[in-house]
Structure 1
Amino acid sequence: MKHYLTFSAADFAQDEEFLKWVKYPEQYPLLHDRWLRFLRDYPHKKEEVEEARLMILAVVKEKQLMPDDATQQNVWHRVQESILEMEDAPKEVMLWQRWYSKAAVVLMIFGAGWFLIGTKNDAPRLAEVEKEAVALEKYINNADVAKTIVLSDGSSIVLQPHSVLEYPRTFKPDVREVYLTGEGFFEVKRDVNRPFMVRTHEIVTRVLGTSFTVRNSEGGKQVLVQVKTGKVSVFKEKSNEEGAKDESVEGVVLMPNQQVVYERDQMKLTKSLVENPSVLIPVAKQEFEFSDAPIGDVFRVIEEAYGVDVVYDEEVLASCYLNASLDDVPLYDKLKLICKGINATYEIMDSHIIIYGKGCSEPVDDTNSTTQTKPN
């Protein structure tokens, strides 16, 4: 969400998303849920939220017509000027006096009675908001060890120490949503009709069924999502309702051994390989034992075992062969040994492994691996 922690009541009352929430909570369920979470996470903002809500309700008129866009902009400009003047007034005034005064300005401007803000029946009362907020279970792991939580759909989360998970007792018919602060490893039960979404304050991770880690350290500079199995879509929290549920909005797509980092200060998503990629499929021990193996075959084994894409010049490296024992060696160490053997280097770019080399015109020996030009 936006930087609502710095918002005053006047700011809330002029915010488009806030107005949508107050006017049409049933039409924008995801937006409604976001505001509920905001109030749960930041209860000290309830006074400003309630004040802004009352300001809006003060100008509610049922069955009225909306003016054209130009007129709306002109009216809101006058409202903003009047409210800003009141923001400079002495602060030792009671809550009801503040909102009543601001509402009076709005009513004075809309005295003709033709500007539609919404209907009274559309606006949620704060008491109803707080009541609905109780529907979410909140699990705080204050222990020094990880705890496993099993959800109503059969999905499970390994919640790390000092982390918080909020989730409903029963999921909605069309979506499964949870909220995470801290770190959790998710194993999601597949349900093609109900996507599973993990929300932090800035990003949403959407899956059907898979296993992945989300690390959202409170006060940290980054949010991290790492995929172990399956396919995950990660995107920034949308300012509109379509973002989270729209299947056409893929965001950054992650496969196993891939990760994305969200930089809070830059509001940017960056995709890469995980720090220590794991073998994804059972690989026979002898498959990592190479004897006069063409380098293309070596890279093929790497690709299939780790689910990565190795990019290299096949023509340039066609004369390279490898003798090496790489079993029980981490991926990046494998790459270092292979590259040392063929006088090459490697680079991780996005989620690809790029190999740079000039070929193997002369044999090169190494204690762990050797490469040579295949004799005629």
Structure 2
Amino acid sequence: MEQEELYLLITRYLARQTSAEENDWLATWVAQSPDHERMFEQLKLVWQGSKAPAANAKTAAALRNVKKRLTLPAPVPTPPSLPRRPKYHLVALVLLILVVAGGVWYLAAPPSPQPYTLRQTPAGQKQTIRLADGSRVTLAPQSQLRYPVAFDGAYRDVYLEGEAFFEVSKDARHPFRVHSGPLVTQVLGTKFNVSTFGPGQLTTVSLVEGKVQVLDQHARYLLTPGQQLRADLTTGRVHRQLFDPEQVSGWRYNKLIFRNEKLADAAPQIERLYNVKLVFADSATAAARLWATFDNEPLSAVLSALQLAGSLTSRREGHVIYLTRQVPPNRSAVGRP
């Protein structure tokens, strides 16, 4: 798309004259790079400035000066027979007038910064959050979500550290975006789980219902229900795979499912849900395999399952649980009779 067509599409979007297909294309274009997003926000600001009250003397004077300098003729209705695509100089002229008007208005009354709310959860606790658009977010333990008090831009942006399950209200004109680690997950209305813990760790987006578009610095990926996208910052690998929804999002109901996983890999989920710290005596202990389902079980039941998983013994000191692999006693040699 040429630059003048792009500018016209943005102004038509701000005037609420675009179709659903055009909205989707524009949303994808904006999300492709920070430069695109900045350009969109600048044009949006100019558009808002051009709609300042006519009583603003500075804005009116600026418009008169621009029109005089450009010898702008009186507006003439466009005949239906003319091509729909405008000439470049007409688009540029409209944008110039908007820039001058918006710039004067912005300097006279700079916008207030958008207020954000930060919610955090400690280990062992979850939290349900209702956003201004009606979307519902279940925040996992040891996670945080930053979101605006009100969504008043082209996008509904939220920022996640940790894990959360999203049930997003539909709004075709304002895509919902979750910024998490290296990924941006963009949706219109759907249910999905996002998990990212710590720098360099795995970030996953698991789609339960609807459709989502996930973007990183190099590409975008479309997911269908039952698909999960996994991005590893350490290796740079990004791939899609199928997943078990109950295993991924069961934490919302205190349910953990492990299918032949190493204790070292299962430990972070147990620690977050039960507010404990698991310490392994050695690598052999951490490598023991766990196959179990904990459906709102008490911590004692979890520890019993861990002990059975690898012939382990446990010792608890406050919130810290030490796990050690049992070593079978040496058998003494049996002499001949």
TM-score by length of 2: 0.40
TM-score by length of 1: 0.36
